[in-house]
Structures are given as structure tokens and as C-alpha cells.
Structure 1
Amino acid sequence: MKELIKKTEVIILQGMDYRETSRIITAFSEGFGRIKLIAKGVRNPKSRMAAALQSFVNAEIVFYKKETSEIYLVKEAEMVEFFWDIHNNLLRFNYAAVIADFLSNLVATEQVSKILYRYSLFTLHRINQGKKEDLPFILTQFLMKSASIIGFRVELEKCTACGRKGFSPHYFSNPKGGILCEKCRKSDLHAVEMSKSVYHFMKKGWEHEEAGYYQKMRTEDFREVFLLFSNWFNYHTHRTLKTLDNYIKGKPFDIYYRTIESKE
């Protein structure tokens, strides 16, 4: 049985208790993609690895990689960065949970993408430090760009059937992978009409790192954006992001977003 000692930087996505003192951990790594780990004895009060293996922690780990196993044993773990505000603010935590859900469910096991790793880490920094009213924008931009990185880019520039540009209204088609014009809508009777504000918001999302331009977006607009993404991901992967669906259904999106609005 071949066993190799490997070292990589990771984002800890989630964990579950295993037996009396251990945990099974899902992490997204820079060098090996999404991996599953077992940390033996990590729940012991004297464990030196406990802090580094919490959810939403950026850590550097050393682990034993066995060719015959899908779960790798953690040998060492050292914290690189702890996202304090994500851990101590429920709103930020819930947005970060969508990032973890995306990486856990839509990225193939051990699909390596250093670009996606770095962008995910960058997004967690933004969720941790950004203004609360900017969080829906930050999440939307992550979903758009990360989907593109793993091969599910949405076409928003031209009709995916005839190639026409500069038309309105826009209909979003999951099978076609983007927008359809009025004339081509008949090629997908399930295509959904996009509101003008949502279309322009998503189109500009590729170009802007700053969130200020979206100020006219409403709660209903963000819900529409997330519903489009939820259906898009489900169509192509047959998987549902439960955390994203919570926002669509108004829990906790409505509650927290209205709290933000009331404070402005």
C-alpha cells in the first residue's frame, strides 16, 4: 500500500464528529482540490490541531495520502488565518456557508484549481471584512465567476441561439447556457424572463470588483438572481445548494437583509 506525506494549504469547509475524539473534515485545498480528512484525537482538549481544523479557517496541513483510501489522515495542522467576523456574526456566517456548500457539492473530488482556491479565499476575506449591505453582491459575483471556472459560464452578451446582441427582454435558458431573445425563446419554452435590473446587474458583475454600482437592487432582485443560479446548478449537476435555497425562501435572507436596510 503506497502512502505519501503531502503538504498543502486548505480552507476548512465543514466537519463532523467521528467516534469519541476524532473528526472527519471536508476541505478545499490549493494542491489537491476538495479532499476528505480524518483528524484523530482532535476533539481532545489538549489537541494542538483543534483550532486549525474549524470550519472557515485557512490552514496549512500535512497529511498521509493513500492511493487506496478516499479519506486521508491529518498528521499536522497549523492555522494560517481565522475569519473572526464570519465566526462571530450570523449574517456573515450564512453567506460563507454558501461558499462552502458550492465547494463541497459542485466541485468534483480532487479537482484541482488554484484559481478557484485563491478566488474562494479572496471571497471569504470580502465576506469577513466587507460592508454587510455588500454581501449579496459579493456572493453573486462568487457564484458567477466560480461557475465559470468549473465550466458552467453563463452567456449574457448575446442570444445563445442566434447570436443577436442588444435586445430586450432577456430570457434565461438552462439548456442553452444563457440568454435567449424573444424570437428564439420558442427553442426553450421553460426559459424564464429576467427583470431588467437583474440582467444588467449580472452582466456588470463580471466587470466590477466594487459593490457600489448595484445600490438600486432590491431584496426581490437578489432572490431572483439566486433562483436563477440555483436552477442553473441543479440542471447541470443534479445537485441543490441548500444554503442558497434558504435565501430564496426568505430564510435567513429576508430577515437579515431587512435588518441591514433598517439600519441604513
Structure 2
Amino acid sequence: MGALGGRWARLKEPSFHNESPLEEDLRRRSRSRRRRKSRRGKCRSRRKRRSRRRKCRRNRRRRKSRRGKCRSRRKRRRSRRRRRRRRSRKRRCRIRRRKSRRGKCRSRRKRRRSRRRRRSRKRRCRIRRRKSRREKCRRKRRRRRRRSRKRRCRRRRRRSRKRRCSTRRRRSRRGTCRSRRKRRRRRSRKRRCSTRRRRSRRLWLQDAEERLRGWSVLRMLCRVSSGSCDSSNVGVIYKPPDKPASLPPPVNVATASRSQSGAWGPSGAPPRLPGGRSAK
């Protein structure tokens, strides 16, 4: 067996002999805090009552034996008992419930309010029954919520259905939510702008293509015709001249060099525009 083998190995972890006073103090505080945490959210007055009852049993007997003593104390007790009996009747009315909760724990009051209100709403309103449908599909719940938002006001719905005219529809938006109107406007503006941009872009491209086609036709006509090349020649169909001898002889592609591939005359130079520019 080693130095700390056998049963001494068990005492290795829980031993606090080599602990500093600061660490010991921290350990004790952490224990006390844990005990306090378990009492959070519970009624302070109830805690006190329980502790008193557990300590001394004689207090219960004394309370019962107060019949021949002070009358005002007895009245207080009676009134408390009556209130407890009335509570079951008062639970129906929300306004009276609040008055009976003045001497009770605040945290418990809050819990009860939230639970009771939810239950009452579920029973009264059909739309809010969805809280019990947590097990079902989320998508269905979302669809139903959207419908419920639309179904808030019946009068507005009827008006919007009656007004079929596009001009009157705009007037019917006065009663609707302002934020929704803004959303619609933004969307419509964006859509219009995007379409306008696309249309203008398309038109510009079409114009550019037409221009390019015009210039290409002009160049072709200038290359073929020996006359002047103006914008008036673009739409004119080329007609061959009467004298075929005036045309230059055809160039053999196999024998012609790269520099003379675009040449039409015997000199080897391509035809020129009236401004001195080449036709290419």
C-alpha cells in the first residue's frame, strides 16, 4: 500500500485541515446562502407562523381558551374567518379579489393573477384557446395568429369589402394602423422604382443596340458603295451599278496577304470616307 493507500485515500478530498481561514469563511457563507435561496419567492409571514407553531405547541391551546377574554380580539378572529368563507364567492369578481389580498405575499399574488386571468381568457375567448395547443404544429399556430389580428374589428372589415372602387379604398385606410399603411407605401414605392429602373435600362439598351446596328449597316454600305457615305444612305438598299467594269476585280483569299485582306482596289488600300477616315 502507498502513503495514502487503503482507507486513508477516502479522507483525501473532504479533509479541510490544510485550509486557510479565508477559504473556511467562504465555505461557511456558501452553505448559509444555499439555505436562504430555498426560501425565495415564499411568503415571509407564513414562514414566521410555521416557525412559531413548530417551536411551541401551547400557543394553539391558548388561542382556543380565549373565549372569556377581550371581545375585540374575538371579533377580529371572527371577521377573518368570515372573509375566508366569502373568498370563494369573491373569486368571481376581479375587483373584489384585489381587496382581499392586501395582507398576503406579493409574489404569490402576482402568480395567482397571471394564472387566473389566463384561465378566464381561455374560457371566454375562442381565439385565445391556442395556448393549450402547444403540442401541435407551429406553422398552423402562426397562420391562426395572423387571422386573429385581421379579425379584431368587424366594422372595418365590412367597410373595406363594400368599397370596391380603387379611389375609395385609399379613404378606407384612415381607420387602419398607421404602421401598416407605411409598410404598404414603402413596398409599393420600391416595386415601382425597381420596375421603372428596369424599363429605363431596357429602353437604353435597345437604343444602344439600334445605334450599333445603324452604324454597322452604314459601314457595310460604305464598304460596298463607291459613293459618299452619309446618314441618308443607311436606309437605302444597295443597288449594283450599271457598268460592271467600274467594280474592282475580286480578291483571291488564298493568295492575298493579311495586310491586303481588306483591300478592294489594285493599289491595295481600302476605300476611304469623305472625311479622310477609313471605312473599318
Q: Tell me which interval the TM-score lies in, with the shorter structure as reference length.
A: under 0.3
Choose 1 or 2 for highest CA Rg: 2
With a CA cutoff of 8 Å and minimum separation of 6, indicate the structure with the bigger relative contact order. 1
Q: TM-score, normalised by structure 2?
A: 0.20
Higher strand share: 1
